[in-house]
C-alpha cells in the first residue's frame, strides 16, 4: 500500500516535470499574447511525429531529435502566427476559438494523411532501463526527461527576466500600448513568442517520444493536460508551473495505481474543475 503510493508519487513527479514543460509553451503564448490556442495539444502531437520521422530516417535517438524538430516547429510557429493567429488578434474572442479548433482538425487530418492511423514509436532510446533504489524503481528515460524539462524551464525563466527579447515579451503582455511606445514591435514580438512556444513543444515531443508512442488523436490528452496545469499554476509564474505539473502528474499516477488505468485523467479533471471553481487565478497566479 505505502510502497505502491511511494512508487506512484515518484513516477508522478517525473511525469509532472514533463507536463510542466508541455504546458510551458501554452503558458507563454496564453500569458503573453492572451491567445487561446486550442490546438496546443496537437502541436505536441505534430512534434512527436516529426521526432518519429527524424529519428527513424537518421536512426537518431528520440531525445536528440529536437535538434532538428525544434527549428522546424519554430518555423511552423511563425507561419501559423502570420497566417492565422495574427488575423484573429483584433477579432472577437470566439473567432480565435473557431480558427484554432479548425487548425486542430487540420493538423490531426494531416497527421492521418502522412502517417496513417496506427500508432508510431521509435526504437528504444539509449536512456532506456531503470534505476533501482531500495524497493523502488525509476525509469531512466523519465528521469532524464524530467531533469531536462526542469533545466529548460529554469533557462526560460532566465530568458524572460534577463534578456531584452524576454523583457519585451513580458512588457507586451503587461501593457501593449506602452510597450509599443518603447519601441517594441508587437507583431514581431508576438511572432517570436508564438514560435518559441511552438518550438518548446518540439523539445517536449522529443522527450515524450523516448518512452511513448504517438497517434493522430493523441493531441487531445496533451491539450487538456496542459490547460489543467496552466489553470492550476495561474499565469506568469514559472516555478508555479513546475509545482502544478507535479501535482497533475502525481494525481494522474496515483489514480492509475489505486483506481483504474482507464480513469487516468479523471483525477486530473476533478482538480481542474475544482480549481476553476475555487481559485480561478490558479495557486500561484500573478493576475
Partner 1 sequence: MNVKNFFNPRNILILVGVGIALVIPLIFKAGQYTMLLMTTVLLYAILASAWNIIGGMAGQLDLAAAAYLGLGAFTTGTLLIRWNITPWVGMIIGGLVATLLAMLIGFPLFGFKVKELWYALSSSALVVVMQSLFMMWNEVGGPTEKYLPVGTSPWYSLRFNDYMPYYYIMLIILVVVLLVNRWIRYSKLGYSLLALGEDEDAVEVLGVNSQSSKLKALAIYSFICGVVGGIFASIYGYVHPAFFDTSMSMEIAILGIVGGMGFIYGPALAAIVMVSFREVLRASLGSQLAGLYLAVYAIILIVVALYQPRGIAPLVERGIKKAQTYFVELTRGRRADIKSS
- The only residue of 1, 2, 59, 92 in contact with partner 1, by rule CB under 8 A: 92
Report the residue number, 29 or 184, with the smaller CB distance to partner 1.
29
Q: Is 287 in the site for partner 1 (CB under 8 A)?
A: no
Q: Is 265 in the site for partner 1 (CB under 8 A)?
A: yes
Helical pair 164-174 and 140-162, crossing angle rounded to 10 deg? 80
Tell me the closest approach of the beta carbon of residue 175 to partner 1, in angstroms: 21
Closest CA to 218 of 229, 208, 233, 232: 208
Q: Is 123 in the site for partner 1 (CB under 8 A)?
A: no
- The only residue of 164, 177, 262, 287 in contact with partner 1, by rule CB under 8 A: 262
- The only residue of 220, 243, 257, 283 in contact with partner 1, by rule CB under 8 A: 220
Q: Is 108 in the site for partner 1 (CB under 8 A)?
A: yes
Q: Is 116 in the site for partner 1 (CB under 8 A)?
A: yes
Q: Is 187 in the site for partner 1 (CB under 8 A)?
A: no
Q: Helix (H, G, I), strand (E, B), or coil: what is residue 131?
A: strand
Q: Is 253 in the site for partner 1 (CB under 8 A)?
A: no
Q: Is 214 in the site for partner 1 (CB under 8 A)?
A: no
- Residues 31 to 90: which contact partner 1 by CB under 8 A? 36, 38, 84, 87-88
Run of H or E including 188: helix 186-209
Q: Helix (H, G, I), strand (E, B), or coil: what is residue 218?
A: coil
Tell me the closest approach of the beta carbon of residue 221 to partner 1, in angstroms: 8
- The only residue of 98, 151, 178, 182 in contact with partner 1, by rule CB under 8 A: 98
Residues 19 and 224: their CA atoms lie apart, in Å, by 11
- Residues 4 to 33: which contact partner 1 by CB under 8 A? none
**Cβ(14)–Cβ(249) below 8 Å:** yes
Cβ within 8 Å of residue 127, ≥6 positions away: 61, 63, 140, 141, 144, 210
Choices 98-106, 138-146, 169-177, 184-192 (CB under 8 A): range interacting with partner 1: 98-106
Residues 30 and 93: their CA atoms lie apart, in Å, by 13
Sign of CA dihedral 174, 176, 182, 188: positive
- How wide is the angle at C-alpha 84 spanned by C-alphas 193 and 71, nearest 5°? 45
**Cβ(76)–Cβ(46) below 8 Å:** yes
Helical pair 266-278 and 219-233, crossing angle rounded to 10 deg? 40
Q: Is 93 in the site for partner 1 (CB under 8 A)?
A: yes
Tell me the closest approach of the beta carbon of residue 139 to partner 1, in angstroms: 25
Cβ within 8 Å of residue 10, ≥6 positions away: 136, 138
Q: Is 276 in the site for partner 1 (CB under 8 A)?
A: yes
Q: Which residues bind partner 1 (CB under 8 A)?
A: 36, 38, 84, 87-88, 91-95, 97-99, 101-106, 108-113, 116-117, 216, 220, 224, 227-228, 231, 260, 262-263, 265-266, 269, 272-273, 276-278, 280
Amino acid at each position: 500500500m505505502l510502497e505502491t503510493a511511494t512508487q506512484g508519487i515518484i513516477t508522478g513527479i517525473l511525469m509532472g516535470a514533463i507536463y510542466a514543460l508541455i504546458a510551458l509553451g501554452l503558458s507563454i503564448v496564453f500569458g503573453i499574447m492572451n491567445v487561446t490556442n486550442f490546438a496546443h495539444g496537437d502541436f505536441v502531437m505534430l512534434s512527436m511525429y516529426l521526432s518519429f520521422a527524424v529519428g527513424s530516417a537518421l536512426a537518431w535517438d528520440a531525445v536528440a531529435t529536437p535538434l532538428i524538430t525544434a527549428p522546424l516547429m519554430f518555423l511552423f510557429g511563425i507561419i501559423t502566427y502570420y497566417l492565422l493567429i495574427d488575423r484573429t488578434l483584433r477579432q472577437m474572442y470566439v473567432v480565435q476559438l473557431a480558427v484554432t479548433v479548425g487548425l486542430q482538425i487540420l493538423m490531426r487530418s494531416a497527421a492521418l494523411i502522412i502517417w496513417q492511423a496506427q500508432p508510431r514509436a521509435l526504437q528504444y532510446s539509449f536512456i532506456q532501463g531503470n534505476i533501482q533504489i531500495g524497493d523502488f524503481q525509476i525509469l531512466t528515460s523519465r528521469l532524464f526527461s524530467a531533469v531536462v524539462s526542469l533545466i529548460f524551464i529554469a533557462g526560460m525563466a532566465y530568458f524572460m527576466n534577463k534578456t531584452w527579447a524576454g523583457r519585451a515579451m513580458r512588457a507586451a503582455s503587461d501593457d501593449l500600448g506602452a510597450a509599443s511606445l518603447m519601441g517594441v514591435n508587437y507583431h514581431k514580438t508576438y511572432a517570436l513568442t508564438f514560435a518559441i512556444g511552438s518550438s518548446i513543444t518540439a523539445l517536449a515531443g522529443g522527450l515524450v517520444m523516448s518512452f511513448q508512442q504517438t497517434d493522430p488523436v493523441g493531441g487531445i490528452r496533451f491539450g487538456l493536460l496542459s490547460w489543467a496545469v496552466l489553470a492550476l499554476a495561474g499565469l506568469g509564474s514559472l516555478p508555479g508551473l513546475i509545482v502544478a505539473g507535479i501535482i497533475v502528474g502525481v494525481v494522474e499516477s496515483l489514480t492509475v495505481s489505486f483506481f483504474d488505468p482507464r480513469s487516468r485523467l479523471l483525477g486530473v479533471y476533478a482538480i481542474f474543475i475544482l480549481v476553476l471553481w475555487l481559485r480561478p487565478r490558479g495557486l500561484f497566479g500573478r493576475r
